[in-house]
Structure 1
Amino acid sequence: MATMDAAERLDRIKGGMYGVAVGDALGGTTEFMSAKEVQTAYGYLMEIIGGGVWRLEPGEVTDDTMMTLCVAEGIIERPDQPMEAIGERFLAWYRTNPKDIGNIIRTVFHKFEGNWFEAALLADLDMGQSGGNGSLMRCLPAALVYAKWEEVERVTRMQSRMTHYDPRCDEACIIYNRIAYRLLQGEALQPVVQQELIGTEYEDLLTSEPNCEPSGFVVHTFRWVAHLLLTSKDFSDVVQRAANLGGDSDTIGAIAGGLAGMHCGYGQIPKAYADKILIRERLDAAVEGLHALRRAE
């Protein structure tokens, strides 16, 4: 395991946060399209151009990045007990009437009356399921802050259960953030992904491709994320392949992009991608806050 100094750690943290935003902004163009429709409309999408079902501005992000920022900023405010601070930011973001918000999360917000876990349970009972990818898409900041794995796991599960009652959601978040945690120790991406899949329902991805659509079901999403990380050659390849899948392409791109960005570091994310993101100032502030807390840890 390599020793990581403060400058490299900052580069990895910034790479993770920008990786989420780039994958989100690139994939937002093709969300809900089929792979064939993507190919007909764009050939092979490689640039952040906006548009799509949400009529995005080039470089505009969706709920994936915005809720990741809510988690990051809540942790920065109250690293010991961040749930209330995260929840306040969720609701403040919701009041901005965002273009894109998942049905499970919207239902939880409507059910919330002071207890997040209760609202998540009520939403699950109301909808008959809560196995979406909305907690996986935003969980990365927990792995960027805490030096002890026990704290990473605690906050990872907590932020997931605030909106997603289905245990498959926090299980996927735990696998994902264990990979992220190890990347911040200096380990290499693909060997870590391979090791963390062993003994899980995703282990078959070590030898085969996903046997599912790139949908918003957390198991399907994580299968595609793991496959992209195991088979792509670099950061650009990860986020471009995610975007060209169609389906829930912005979320798959954001989740896979977060780990790919951590692996390569911000300095290796193409400038044409990073500079395109419209909320760079807020991202940069979150990165600085996360890094300061990690140094204090």
Structure 2
Amino acid sequence: MDGQDRVRGCLLGGAIGDALGAPIEFQSLREIRKHHGTDGISGYVADWRGKTGLITDDTQMTLFTVEGLVRADHANGSPAAGAGDAPVVEAVREAYLRWLDTQSHHASPPADLPHRTGRLREEGWLYSRRAPGNACLSGLHRHFPGPAPLGEPGPVNPDSKGCGTVMRSAPFGLVRAASDPRAAFETAAACAQITHGHPTGYLAAGAFAAIIAYLMSGEALEPAVHRALELLAGYPAHEETTAALRAALELGGPPSPERVESLGGAWVAEEALAIGVYCALAETSVERALLLSVNHSGDSDSTGSVCGNLLGTLHGAAALPPAWLRPLEGRDTIERLAAELA
């Protein structure tokens, strides 16, 4: 399997998991079972608009992360994953501001786009507001002087550790410096501070990017998580993220929604990461793992997205269920961005 297939798999897998979980994000497990049976959903279900296969802010922000990294690479003429490199952080922040524009003012691209225009900014389907996280929105409205040293509170929303850091951070592990997981970790953590300043929030993003980087280099998932834990231990304030990942690794017994829920609700970063990792490890089938990752009472689209990123990187795009790829919103755009990043 080549790197390009892993990149495609990561971005498409994350989008599939996001689209699976979106319609049931705010439903309890009891409600999911009431509406869809004991096993929960078994594929895409219609949202309140009667539509299926629609992505959320998780995939939107992931795509803008990709655009920021690609722009930084083109501008610098070098791989876009230096360890917290200021031009890379600024390029990613500018991309997030373009995402913010799509969420703030218009229902479609305006005739006269502002100076931050990028190709994604011109995609009309991205202008749908899909329950974006409050910290992501508020953080982007604030001045960002640059990231704090890792382990210290960041300058923006210093008490926020929401899952909005993790769900957008897989691309940092995909860039050409994936042979240096520490650089992927530190760049993801620095860029997470653009909106979330709690150390657990941004260190969880760093750990996720490092896991993706190890998978890109050919590691199996469990060893990749262990190696990311070794990296994580070198930073102050790692304890919450470390505990969550260790809980995911140590959770035994047959996979079930109840075991998923024992890891938390995934509204915070370390829990979303732990659930995504657990589900990707607990099931041998990509399809079953993705369904496990969304059939629970917590933040189903974020855990589905994280699990899909992991599985897609591990197995490549060919392993993703074709029935879920065909109706996926924005698939052509995701494929184009995957090619640019690869």
TM-score, normalising length from structure 2?
Answer: 0.75
**Any residues of structure 2 matched to 1:73-92 within 5 Å, and which?**
73-79=67-73, 80=80, 81-92=87-98
Matches of 2:263 and 2:186, distance apart in 1: 30
Q: Equivalent residue of 1:137, what SS?
A: coil
State percent identity of aligned pairs: 27
The equivalent residue for 1:184 is 216
Deviation at 1:207, TM superposition (A): 2.5
Amino acid at match of 1:206: L
Matches of 1:76 and 1:205, distance apart in 2: 32
The answer to whether the Cα contact below 8 Å between 2:201 and 2:268 also exists between their aligned partners in 1 is no
Matches of 1:187 and 1:159, distance apart in 2: 25
Matches of 1:46 and 1:158, distance apart in 2: 37
Aligned partner of 1:206 among 249, 271, 284? 249
* Structure 1 spans left out of the alignment, 5+ residues: 292-297
Aligned partner of 1:220 among 262, 271, 276? 271
Amino acid at match of 2:218: G
Say which structure, 1 or 2, has more relative contact order (CA 8 Å, 6+ apart): 1
Matches of 1:220 and 1:279, distance apart in 2: 28
Q: How many residues align?
A: 278
The answer to whether the Cα contact below 8 Å between 2:174 and 2:216 also exists between their aligned partners in 1 is yes
- The answer to whether the aligner puts 1:35 opposite 2:29 as a matched pair is yes
Q: Equivalent residue of 2:160, what SS?
A: coil
The answer to whether the Cα contact below 8 Å between 2:144 and 2:194 also exists between their aligned partners in 1 is no
Matches of 1:158 and 1:196, distance apart in 2: 17
Deviation at 1:206, TM superposition (A): 2.7
The answer to whether the Cα contact below 8 Å between 2:247 and 2:263 also exists between their aligned partners in 1 is no
Distance 1:233 1:282, change over 3 A: same
Aligned partner of 1:121 among 145, 152, 155? 155
Deviation track 1:163-187 (CA, whole Å, cap 9, x = no partner) reads 1101112221222222211111112
Structure having the larger proportion of residues in helix: 1
The equivalent residue for 1:49 is 45
Amino acid at match of 1:286: L
**Any residues of structure 2 matched to 1:56-135 within 5 Å, and which?**
57-79=51-73, 80=80, 81-97=87-103, 98-110=129-141, 112-113=142-143, 115=145, 117=147, 121-124=155-158, 129-135=159-165
Query: What is the root-mean-square deviation in Å for CA atoms of aligned residues?
Result: 2.3
Q: Equivalent residue of 2:174, what SS?
A: helix
TM-score, normalising length from structure 1?
Answer: 0.85
Deviation track 1:186-214 (CA, whole Å, cap 9, x = no partner) reads 12223433554576323233323563432
The answer to whether the Cα contact below 8 Å between 2:140 and 2:194 also exists between their aligned partners in 1 is no
